[in-house]
Each structure stands twice: as structure tokens, then as C-alpha cells.
Amino acid sequence: MQRYSALGLLTQGLRHHENWQRVWRNPTPKKHYDVIVVGGGGHGLATAYYLAKLHGVTNVAVVEKGYLGGGNTGRNTTIVRSNYLWDEAAHLYEHAMKLWEGLSQDLNYNVMFSQRGVLNLGHTLQDMRDIQRRVNANRLNGIDSEVLDTQQVQELVPIMDCSPNTRYPILGGSWQPRAGVARHDAVAWGYARAADALGVDLLQQTEVTDLIVEQGTVKGVSTARYGDLYAERVGCVVAGNSGVLAKMAGFNLPLESHPLQALVSEPIKPILDTVVMSNHVHGYVSQSDKGDLVIGAGIDSYNGYGQRGSFPTIEHTLQAIIELFPIFSRVRMNRQWGGIVDTCPDACPIISKTPVRNLFFNCGWGTGGFKATTGSGHVFAASLAKGEMHPLAEPFSMFRFHTGALVDEHGAAGVAH
Amino acid sequence: MLHIHCPHCGEHREEDEFHYKGQAHIARPLDPESCTDEQWGDYLYFRDNPRGLHREVWFHSAGCRKFFNVVRDTQTYEIHESYLIGTQPAGSGTPDSDSTEVQAS
């Protein structure tokens, strides 16, 4: 792998950028792999990378039906934070946060991780009580988190309307300084490049048409393009299509797929240097390095696979943003799109063994998967390498919906659902 | 924007008048006490999530405030029909074997 460096950039620049290596190979698949990862999004690529890097399992294929990072990895609003309420979730997301902090160096790829802080606003007394509870829980788990009052919020974000005359006055908020944003595409590309360099085969345009299961044990996957590929273990990281794959293996998952929309505005000069989220008026906004405002809110209520959303949701989102930032009222929106998120009843993921031996699933991240890309890949790789779930992944078993041991983050975390 | 036909009002109205209430035709176990954890978990949390025709409950929250069922395609978002709770769809949507009717609340 060609290492990226300032000197390299300069030398290549002098040669008119004509001699850069291809970032990853386009390999012909082998017939047999140690591990096949189905799904070439951020989580799947991270899984493959950590398998090769930390566990020495390099005979790995990532099978992707479209192109790498072409699903929700390239469609989200790029917020990274770890201020979750419950211990199980907080440990998992904080694990991810620690990996984010060294990721660019680790991958030798600039993922533009910018720890500009995330502000979760409170608009009612109950909001503020929940925020205090969550901040205390975060601090007990070693996660940086503070409660801010209206004055401190105003100092952080001078352009926000913090006056008492608004429909939902801002009473304060929680603040996680280490949180921030990252460049979503770069995360997928960085992991793909690093995994490829360690020998992982990245098979794009390769749709899995069936899982090969014999006597309760998975043996591999059937693909439209390359026929049957065999593997000792198979890990499925396919977000919105998890239910479809689970059905191929003969079991159900408690997931529902919903469209989640996001929009970006025309690029404007730097005006917002942090991430502002509000669950009460329901919207969140940050400004990308390119200058456009990146805006999102909750999922569309109904199930859907259409990768587009409904207009009432956009209207609702923008009402919330204008409520907070009257200054944005005449900014024009450039693009709007929808991704399909697989939501779990308790708003926590499934990282789990399945009723089929050697088949593992990592799904159900719902609206908050991007922030966990690093940690999710890390613990899933450990689980696939050893055949036993990583301790951080254990509470997220798919069997919790029968035992009742849910990790109920719905409405408890600073989650904008 | 979905245009949903409310069988109670007999009119097509825009989707922001309605609330989505999830999968239709879910039968509550007649004797919950005798359910295994597996059966109870299935009833509470496991839902069909088809890519294609989906039978679902909608609530006309800003209209007549009554519930009804809809058959909708989750891929194209085309609505095939609306029908009353307690009845089966006329054309599309395969009926479930366990379709004891339960009014959502």
C-alpha cells in the first residue's frame, strides 16, 4: 500500500497526480474463505479490517451488492458521540469513541474526525431532569459530559435563539466536548483501503442471493456474480436488508425498516462550529467543512424501503431548525435524501450469534449507526475471530427480545428518534 | 406525500392527518399467562418487515380519530386499498393464518 503523507502529496502534485496507486484491488474471489462479511458499508469494512489487523484472519471477503459505502454510511449526518444513558450502550459507544480518536493515524487515511462537541438541548423541566440524569450516568462511566444552563448554551452558540420568548425556550443542555463529526465516505474508503492492504478481498457488485446452511450450520453464501463462496464463519452487516437475509437463514429479527431523511443547504461561510441537537423540537444541525448545513431529524413513521422520505417530515425538521436558528430562515436547501434504517424495539443494535451455527448478525443500529462504526467493527471482528461474542457485544444478543433483558435507550439517551 | 383513503370518512386525505400504527392483524394471545417467553416476545417485538406489500394500521388522528387498515407497498409506497378493522383486504395482501382481529389501541 502506498502510504499517504505530506511529502507524497507534494511529489505526486509535481507529477500532476497521475501516478497514484489504485486505492484497493478488484480481486477474483477464492472458493473458500475463513470469514465472509456480507455488507460493504462502514461496519462491514471495519469488521474486515479489524479481523485482519488484530486477529490475523486475513483470508476474508467482504461481499457487497452495490458499491462500498453506498448505503447508510454515505447517507448519514456524520455525528459521533457517546453520551448514552445505560451502561451497556455507553460502554459500547465509548469504546467506539476511543477508536475514532486515533482512526486517521491507524488507517493512514484522513477521516476528518473533528471533535467540535455535541450539544443536546433541553426545553422543558423534564428535559433538564433527564439531561442531568444522563450526564451523571455518563460521568460515572468515564464519559465527558456536562450540564449547561441557558447562558452557557448561548455563549457556545451565539447565533441560536436562546431568548425566553420562543415557543420552546432553551433551558439548558448537555455538552460532550469530545463528540463531533467525521467525513462519512472517508471512513468507508479508509477502512476499505486498509483492509485491502492486509489481504481482504472486497467483492463489489456481488449480491448475496442465498445463505448456504447445512444441518443448522452456515457453510457460505450464494452470489449472483460468482456462484457459491464457502466460509467457516459468516457475518452479516447489512442494515436495512437484515430481515431479508435472516429469512434466508430461516429465522426472524425484530427489526423494522424506516426511511430516515437528511438534507444539506447551499454552502455558506463558517457560522456554526459545533453540533446542535434537540429532541424536543426535534432536529439537529451541524456545518460541514465545505460550508453546507447538514440537517436531520427523526425517521418517517411508516415502514419503507424506498430510500426517499415524505415531505411532512422535512417540513417538521425545518420548522425545528428555524425555531432554534431564525438566522437560517432564508438559507436554501440543496439536496435531500433518505436512507433505510433498521430500527430495533429498544433502539439498541443486535450484535449476536443466531440460531444458525457460525452465522453472526450485526444490525439494528437504527438511526445511530455511524458513530459506532469503529466500535461495532472492532467487537464484531473479535466475535467472528473467536466464535464467541466480545464482552461488550454480549448485552446486544438477538435473544434479549425473548429473555426481556432489553437495553432501553429509546428516549433515554440523547437520541433523536 | 401519501394520499390515504379513510374508509370511515370516505375521502382521500394527506398523510399528515394520519398516524402510522404498525403492522395490522396482530392477534393478542388469548391467554398471555400461558405463553412461553418465546411466544410472548414474538407477540411484543417481532414484526413483518416485507419489501413489498404490507398490511398496516393507520389512525386518522386529525380527522375522525378512528383506526383502519391499509395495504401499502413498502418499496413503491403505492397504496392498494384501505379497509375496516375486522375485515380482510379485498384483493392484495395475503391473509395470515393467525388473523384473529384485534382492535389496536
Please state, in angstroms and rounded to a whole number, the distance separating the CA atoms of residues A416 and B77: 25
Axis crossing angle, helix A373-386 with helix A87-101, rounded to the nearest 10 = 100
- pLDDT reading at A412 higher than 70: no
Set of cell numbers at residue B64: 375522525
* Nearest CB partner across the interface for B41, out of A304, A310, A401: A401
Model confidence at B101, pLDDT cuts 50, 70, 90, reads very low
pLDDT tens digits, one per residue of A199-244 = 999 999 999 999 999 999 999 999 999 999 999 999 999 998 898 8
A2 falls in which pLDDT band (50, 70, 90)?
confident
What distance in Å separates the CA atoms of residue A356 and residue A363, rounded to the nearest whole number?
16
d(CA B72, CA A340): 17
Q: How many residues does chain A have?
A: 417
Pick from A281, A318, A271, A268: which is nearest to A296 by CA?
Answer: A318
Mean pLDDT, residues A266-287 taken together: 95
A255 contact residues in B (CB cutoff 8 A): 49
Residue in A121, A143, A139 with CA at minimum distance from that of residue A130: A121
Backbone angles phi, psi at B20, to 5 degrees: -85, 135
What's the average model confidence in pLDDT over A78-102? 96
Going by C-beta distance under 8 Å and a sequence separation of 6 or more, which residues neighbour residue A138?
A82, A83, A84, A85, A90, A144, A145, A176
What are the respective helix, strand and coil percentages of chain A, to the nearest 5?
35, 25, 40
Mean pLDDT of B30-43: 94
Interface test with B, best of A244, A245, A252, A305 (most B CBs within 10 A): A305
Residues of chain A found within 8 Å of residue B14, distances taken between Cβ atoms? 312
Which of B16, B38, B45, B69 best probes binding to A when mutated, by most A CB atoms within 10 angstroms? B45
Mean pLDDT over A126-150 rounds to 96
Say how many residues make up chain B.
Answer: 105
Cell of B97: 393464518
pLDDT of residue A127: 93
Task: Give the pLDDT mean for A327-352.
Answer: 93
Instruction: Indicate the helix (H) or strand (E) that contains B83.
Output: strand B79-83
Average pLDDT over residues A394-400: 96
How much is the pTM? 0.93
User: Which run of H or E residues covers position A60?
Assistant: strand A60-63
What number is the average pLDDT over the span A172-183? Answer: 97
Phi first, then psi, for residue A220 (nearest 5°) are 160, -165
Compute and round to an integer the Cα radius of gyration of chain B: 14
